[in-house]
Amino acid sequence: MTMIRRPLLAALLLVACSSVWGATGVAFVHGTGSQSNALNDYWTTSMVNSVRQGLSNQNNYTVINCDFEQYMWTAGAAGCLAGQLHSFITSHNITDLVVITHSNGGNVMRWIMSNPTWDSRYPLIIQRTRWVNALAPSSLGTPLAEAVMQGNIFESALGWILGYQNDAVRMQQPSWMAFYNDSWLLGTAGRPNLPKGFWNVVGSDVPAALWNPAAYCGGYHYQVGLAITKAWLSSCSDGFLECSSQNGAGSLWFYDHWATNSGRRLSHHQSRRNCHGLDVILRNDL
């Protein structure tokens, strides 16, 4: 589906949901890490507050805080996510839920959608979800996870974005993700489709030149770190994930430069920030 046709579908769904079902809500699902204040520490209030302006009731949002250093199916990961989503849906009477995930958060959400009988809360979550907007999802894993598990230089270089040798990092090794995609997860090539849309926003480069204004959004020091790790990835990558991994499950929504302001590229860090108009794109999608 192209960038032109998807907003029309969103509008039709919104009309149907508002007239027949009820409230629209949005959930922000963080990536790898154990979060207790993802609003400030992972997304930032400026990003979340900008996006939720697209809601008719701007209070219908939730920011997830879970332990995504665990394997995706565990009580601390998918169990925690399911609990918080289920509580949000029922307490706010959400019947049209847009889930915005980043990085490994896409894997945890995809686990829920792929295994509806695993947990009694999963079916309601799947039913009420309109679709998932997956920002730089690690659907096929990353070679950098292997490097971290081997304890080489990447462990210190990537500690701020991945954590260290935890189960979530171990899980995101490409060979491990290949196994999960072939056996437990839906949406990848050769597998059944996911029950709801899983739309990928792909970050394709790391702007890091001192003279490039795009390099300063979200913090220049993050860009420098990702520019270093990008050297070990394919040319199309966001410094942590190759484009093929980001678009390895579900459907392509857009590559960063197709839709961002002035065709800017998004690093892995910038794709969870209000950088280059990404927040406005997500806001309008609601």
- Report pLDDT for 229: 85
pLDDT at 154: 59
State the total domains in the chain: 1
Q: Looking at residue 242, which CATH number applies to its domain?
A: 3.40.50.1820
Is 234 within a domain?
yes
For residue 223, what are the contacts with CB-CB under 8 A and spacing of at least 6? 206, 207, 208, 215, 216, 239, 267, 269, 270
Question: 117 in a domain, yes or no?
Answer: yes
pLDDT tens digits along 51-71:
999 999 999 999 999 999 999
> Side chain identity at 144, as an amino acid letter?
L
What pLDDT does 146 receive? 85
In a domain, 47, yes or no: yes
Residue 144 lies in a domain: yes
Please report whether residue 10 resides in a domain. no
49 lies in a domain? yes
pLDDT digits (tens, 9 = 90+) for 117-163: 999 999 999 999 999 999 999 999 999 888 887 766 555 555 555 55
Q: Which domain holds residue 233?
A: 20-285
CB contact set of 57 (below 8 Å; sequence gap of 6+):
23, 24
**What's the pLDDT at 14?**
52
CA distances (Å), origin 244, targets 8, 101, 109, 252: 27, 17, 19, 11
215 part of a folded domain? yes
Instruction: Record the pTM.
Output: 0.92
C-alpha distances (whole Å) from 111 to each of 54, 124, 126, 273 are: 27, 14, 11, 25
Query: Within its chain, how far is the Cα of 16 from the centroid?
Result: 26
Task: Give Cβ neighbours of residue 191 (< 8 Å, ≥ 6 apart).
Answer: 181, 182, 185
Low-confidence ranges of the chain (pLDDT < 50): 1-2, 4-5, 17-20
Q: Is residue 14 part of a domain?
A: no
